[in-house]
């Protein structure tokens, strides 16, 4: 099946997730990490049940920071004792819900946060494991996005815990035990060197804190930071060089880490699922305005926002691959000059990203509002793409925008894109993480795209997120 066929069946725009890419990414990450170690999948990257279920089946635990993410993890088969509940500002209601589901491990960001967990644990008479999130005294230089080391809502300030008497302020009482540290210093790093610098500081700080607080560490969560190309062509970054130096660093500070004292854990979201997702969209209009070209898609920041719609993060810049079919139904992809090629986690070229199978959507997830996918033979891809003209190779410089009635709906500004016209299908690669659920899906009350999952056998399932207002009886509190 092809992107054009999928869109004919399930509508445009359309997200497609390939589970084989998730498995490849997990295998690559595992090869790069110390052994033994635990990998927590961060559901914030993409909570789609099929992705979570695949990763849980591969042995991942779950890092969640809401009751919705917790439900997704548990519904996907994750054991509650394998969940780490994180996030500042946890409410009593969500703590109570998590405890009732059997969650026993919480990352806590302050004494008050810890007390709320302990109070609810006492009410439910459940023992909890507390992991102290730590805000280091200074950031690691040259990290693209610093999580800690600056004034932050995340974590206990390390300097306060290292002061004399720091241990006394952390007595958890009879219903809790402080078992470890959670230190997440930076995110979306792209080189082994930057990761190793970050982890070296993290491990040394954890050793000092454990000694100062007289804690026998059972868990050391080193966070994540594993970057991945986002909505651009490109292969996942190679982090295989970190394993040896990282194991040596752990040996130096925690000689018994291989025996689980402490167990070493990492978190990853974008690296595990980034390559799995592609957003297909249809060109609605191409227009010139005051000397500048605009390509208007039926997908916008309500489908692919990357949280940039908040205006507080670096603006996204999507790279487009033009998907077109020939008379035989075979599909080719056109990239512009300078593009690196569309590659999978293993580095194999994939131009474009068709699913390798033809099975029907599962009855449980197939959309009733869309026609069922008919069984058909999978068209073969061209061994060699057809020759392109110089103009096609050069592409055009354009702003890529969505259909929303706001001037903020930009997917790319002054981006080199293929030559496009209304009706063309384009694909945005590496859109598996921070895609739909990180977007402004409620803005302008537009319909969300269907999400199509392709498993290793080529079988398809389709589902759709919906926002629905539930009317409830309004009680009057007027006196």
Catalytic (active-site) positions: 405
Q: Are strands 263-268 and 219-221 parallel, antiparallel or unpaired?
A: parallel
**Facing residues of 281 across strands?**
426
Other C-beta atoms within 10 Å of 208: how many? 13
Cα–Cα dist 54/19, whole Å: 7
Cα–Cα dist 377/330, whole Å: 11
Q: What are phi and psi of 176, to 5 degrees?
A: -145, 160
Tokens of 267: 């978190």
Cα torsion angle, 57, 459, 429, 409, sign: negative
Cα–Cα dist 459/290, whole Å: 47
| Cβ density class 322-334: b for 16+ within 10 Å, e for less | bbbeeeeeebbbb
> In 3-state terms, what secondary structure has residue 262?
coil
DSSP characters for 85-98?
A: E--SS--HHHHHHH
3-state helix, strand, coil in the chain (%, to 5): 30, 25, 50
Q: At CB < 8 A and 24+ separation, what contacts does 63-66 make?
A: 63/267, 66/94
Cα–Cα dist 315/304, whole Å: 11
């Amino acid at each position: 099946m092809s992107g054009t066929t999928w869109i004919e069946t399930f509508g445009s725009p359309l997200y497609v997730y390939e589970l084989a890419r998730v498995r490849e990414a997990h295998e690559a990450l595992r090869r790069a990490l110390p052994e033994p170690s635990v990998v927590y999948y961060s559901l914030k990257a993409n909570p789609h049940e099929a992705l979570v279920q695949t990763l849980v089946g591969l042995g991942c635990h779950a890092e969640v920071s809401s009751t919705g993410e917790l439900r997704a993890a548990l519904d996907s088969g994750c054991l509650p004792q394998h969940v780490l509940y994180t996030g500042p500002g946890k409410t009593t209601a969500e703590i109570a819900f998590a405890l009732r589901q059997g969650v026993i491990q919480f990352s806590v960001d302050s004494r008050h946060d810890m007390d709320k967990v302990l109070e609810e644990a006492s009410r439910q008479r459940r023992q909890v494991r507390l992991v102290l999130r730590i805000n280091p005294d200074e950031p690691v230089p040259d990290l693209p996005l610093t999580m800690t080391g600056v004034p932050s809502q995340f974590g206990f300030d390390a300097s306060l815990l290292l002061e004399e008497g720091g241990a006394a302020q952390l007595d958890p009482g009879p219903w809790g035990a402080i078992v470890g540290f959670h230190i997440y210093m930076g995110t979306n790093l792209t080189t082994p060197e930057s990761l190793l610098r970050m982890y070296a500081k993290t491990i040394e700080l954890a050793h000092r804190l454990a000694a100062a607080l007289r804690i026998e560490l059972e868990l050391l969560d080193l966070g994540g930071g594993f970057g991945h190309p986002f909505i651009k062509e490109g292969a996942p970054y190679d982090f295989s060089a970190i394993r040896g130096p990282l194991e040596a660093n752990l040996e130096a500070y925690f000689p018994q880490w291989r025996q689980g004292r402490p167990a070493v854990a990492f978190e990853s979201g974008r690296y595990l699922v980034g390559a799995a997702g592609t957003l297909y969209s249809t060109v609605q209009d191409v227009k010139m305005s005051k000397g500048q070209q605009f390509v208007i898609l039926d997908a916008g920041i309500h489908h692919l926002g990357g949280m940039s719609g908040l205006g507080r993060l670096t603006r996204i810049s999507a790279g487009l691959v033009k998907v077109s079919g020939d008379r035989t139904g075979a599909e080719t992809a056109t990239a512009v000059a300078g593009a690196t090629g569309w590659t999978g986690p293993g580095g194999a070229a994939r131009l474009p990203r068709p699913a390798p199978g033809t099975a029907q959507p599962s009855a449980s997830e197939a959309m009733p509002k869309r026609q069922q996918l008919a069984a058909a033979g999978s068209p073969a891809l061209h061994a060699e793409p057809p020759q392109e003209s110089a103009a096609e190779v050069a592409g055009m410089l354009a702003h890529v925008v969505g259909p929303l009635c706001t001037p903020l709906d930009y997917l790319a500004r002054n981006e080199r894109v293929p030559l496009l016209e209304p009706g063309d299908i384009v694909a945005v690669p590496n859109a598996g993480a921070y895609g739909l659920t990180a977007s402004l899906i409620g803005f302008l009350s537009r319909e969300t795209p269907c999400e199509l999952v392709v498993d290793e056998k080529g079988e398809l399932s389709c589902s759709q997120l919906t926002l629905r207002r539930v009317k409830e009886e309004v009680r009057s509190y007027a006196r």
